[in-house]
Amino acid sequence: MNPPLLVGLLVGILAAIMGVGGGFIMVPAMIYLLGMPTKVVVGTSLFQIIFVTGFATLLHATTNFTVDMMLAVLLLVGGVVGAQIGTRIGVKMKAEQLRILLAIMVLAVCGRLALDLLLQPAELYSIGTGGGH
């Protein structure tokens, strides 16, 4: 099995188990395991995520009927605007700076997960209405 396919398979399994986006694991894997240039990794990861998120959204919409269209539109608009800003900033940065920002983001997420494991929530159980009822 070729390395990129193996990395993609492992990232898909880890992302599904841990509930994090595939790019969060895929970007470091492509940089450090496959040795790809950082600026190429960013575009490759975003291109791959388009298909994964599109397929997951389609499955949720057809099987669970759990897609909030207004929220989806807001997220799409925010994502498009954020991608434009991020692209302009990313072009001006060095690959090492992008790696440092990625490392800071990974550490921040790990810290938040560790904090959530240690702190007891204010309300352990709550009853709420689902589906906007």
Q: Residue ranges per domain, the chain?
A: 21-114
Residue 17: what pLDDT?
A: 67
Q: Which residues are CB-contacts of 33 (< 8 A; sequence separation ≥ 6)?
A: 3, 7
Rounded alpha-carbon distances, angstroms, from residue 1 to 6, 8, 33, 57, 133: 7, 11, 15, 29, 49
Residue 129: what pLDDT?
A: 63
Return mean pLDDT, the chain.
80
Average pLDDT of the segment spanning 36-43: 84
Residue 35 pLDDT greater than 70, yes or no: yes
Dmax over CA atoms of the chain, in Å, equals 50
pLDDT digits (tens, 9 = 90+) for 81-105: 988 888 888 888 888 888 888 889 8
Average pLDDT of the segment spanning 9-32: 74
pTM equals: 0.54
